[in-house]
Amino acid sequence: MDIVVHEATDDTAVLECSGRLNMVSAGAFRETVAKVVGGGRARLVVELSGVEFMDSSGLGALVGCLKTARQAGGDLRIAAPSEQVQMVLKLSNIDKILRTYPDGDAAVTNWG
């Protein structure tokens, strides 16, 4: 999985992900989030339009990163999930916990 980090504001970062968020890549995803949060950006937008596959390990990584962000006084939002990712979020009811936005800009500007 590839992750590109964009600094949106002083306390917000957008993580643009592509590839597969699964057992193999979940650890690297968590490490990237920990570095971003440790660097002072606790508000995270995870852009998932380029993620063609996510399994339960990827789901666990998202929930763990949500906890990391909230412990630092921030939050984690999902932007533009692909169809497969959206289906996994709905089937697991995680879409009730992780707010989903149509794109990264909407997730950043509607913080509140």
pLDDT tens digits for range 31-44: 999 999 999 999 99
Per-residue pLDDT band at 110 (split at 50, 70, 90): confident
Helix (H) or strand (E) holding 28: helix 26-38
User: What pLDDT score was predicted for residue 104?
Assistant: 87
55: amino acid identity, one letter = D
pLDDT recorded at residue 97: 92
The pLDDT tens digits for 42-97 are: 999 999 999 999 999 999 999 999 999 999 999 999 999 999 999 999 999 999 99
User: pTM of the entire structure?
Assistant: 0.94
